[in-house]
Amino acid sequence: MNVKITVLTAACALALAACGDKSPPPAPAAPATTAPATTAPAETAPAETTPAASTTASAPVGAGGAAVVNDCATEIEGNDAMQFNVKSITVPASCSEFKITLKHTGKMPVAAMGHNVVITTLDDMKKVAADGMGAGIDNDYVKPGDDRVIAHTKMIGGGETTSVSFDVSKIKGDGPYEFFCSFPGHSAIMKGTIAVE
Ligand SMILES: [Cu+2]
């Protein structure tokens, strides 16, 4: 009797030992912590720069993207690719007043691809553009009463035209001066120099 139990116990012990030999089942793989997709702030990717090959360009443009000036006035264009067709405007020193007409040659609405022309010193441009963003589209993205703004047109959408006239003496001081579009994100590309010569 006693012997029987001993044998059984031994067998059991062996069985346990055998059991112990078995390597424990692998721990369930830790659920891969799905890293939150790094939602990079959707920087408005600058539109691919189509090198001056804007087939829709109707207004004549001088060498190096110089605006063509006639009778103390010029016409420039903005398009759906977030571009002005000129890079520089030279105002004749003989002009007392100068008129800039902006034509939006695109089709997109003002809320999506609005353009205007704002003139400031180069130093003020970034700050004016930032404040303009806060002012919103109802203010043409120009802070009301901003005395750093020398002149600006209203904000227009595709197919529209607008203009602004200003006293040339205002850009005869300590420049350099720039013209740019204050629609959020546009001034990085839509800008150029304006100077009196
Ligand atoms: Cu614009």
pLDDT in tens, 15-44: 444 444 444 444 444 444 444 444 444 444
- The two tokens of residue 10 are 């031994």
- Domains of the chain are 63-196 (2.60.40.420)
DSSP H or E stretch at residue 3: helix 2-21
For residue 78, report the distance from its CA to the centre of ligand 1, in Å: 7
Q: Note the pLDDT tens digit of each residue in 110-147.
A: 999 999 999 999 999 999 999 999 999 999 999 999 99
Which amino acid is located at 186 in the chain? H
For residue 190, report the distance from its CA to the centre of ligand 1, in Å: 6
For residue 37, report the distance from its CA to the centre of ligand 1, in Å: 31
What is the radius of gyration, based on Cα positions, of the chain?
34
For residue 158, report the distance from its CA to the centre of ligand 1, in Å: 11
For residue 82, report the distance from its CA to the centre of ligand 1, in Å: 6
Q: Note the pLDDT tens digit of each residue in 74-109.
A: 999 999 999 999 999 999 999 999 999 999 999 999
For residue 192, report the distance from its CA to the centre of ligand 1, in Å: 13
Is residue 55 pLDDT above 60, yes or no? no
Looking at residue 59, its pLDDT comes to 63
For residue 189, report the distance from its CA to the centre of ligand 1, in Å: 9
For residue 23, report the distance from its CA to the centre of ligand 1, in Å: 68
Q: How confident is the model at residue 58 (pLDDT cuts 50, 70, 90)?
A: low
For residue 113, report the distance from its CA to the centre of ligand 1, in Å: 6
Residue whose token pair is 């977030």: 82
> Strand locations in the chain, DSSP E?
69-70, 73-78, 88-91, 97-104, 118-121, 151-152, 161-167, 177-180, 191-196
